[in-house]
Amino acid sequence: MVKVIQVVLAVLILYIGWCVAQPYILKYKVTKAVDNIAQYATLHTEEESIREFDNRIKQDLGGKLDTTRTTKDGTRGGLYIEKDEDTKQVKARFVYFDEMKIFGQKVKNMEIVILKEAAKVDKMF
């Protein structure tokens, strides 16, 4: 009987750990995508970059991101790209919302802001 309780507790701890880790795993994947799109935007227009980002997110994450709400400072979720045409530097800001759920119950709402900068690289050494 003690072994059964230990197994149930171990499975429960693993499940809760997975539920807690999921938003952070998604944040890691999105951060990599924003970093890549910032570099992509140094060579392409803002509209092309946003379109490419949307395609990559749909392919890689299957629409798991919520960008429909508004942040505390009043800005709407989504990707914003600022490009300096003279220096070819790009600042990408992506805002999305996630929530942590355990057993279907919402534990925590998360507002995640990812900021990345990139510059055009002429040659790689």
Q: In what order do the strands lie in the sheet with 105-119?
A: 78-84, 89-102, 105-119
Cβ 116 vs Cβ 38: under 8 Å: yes
Q: What's the pTM value of the predicted model, to 2 decimals?
A: 0.80
Which is more confidently placed, 85 or 11?
Answer: 11
Which contiguous run of DSSP H or E holds residue 100?
strand 89-102
The yes-or-no verdict on residue 122 having pLDDT over 70 is: no
The yes-or-no verdict on residue 10 having pLDDT over 90 is: yes
In whole angstroms, give the CA distance from residue 107 to residue 85: 44
Cβ 32 vs Cβ 118: under 8 Å: no
Q: pLDDT digits over 46-99, tens only?
A: 888 888 888 888 888 776 776 666 666 666 678 888 888 888 789 999 888 888
In whole angstroms, give the CA distance from residue 62 to residue 6: 36
Cβ 116 vs Cβ 34: under 8 Å: yes
Cβ 95 vs Cβ 81: under 8 Å: no
Q: Count the neighbouring beta carbons within 10 Å of the beta carbon of residue 16.
A: 13
5 pLDDT tier (thresholds 50, 70, 90):
very high
In whole angstroms, give the CA distance from residue 73 to residue 78: 14
Q: pLDDT digits over 27-50, tens only?
A: 999 999 899 999 888 888 888 888
Look-up of token digits 């970093």: 35
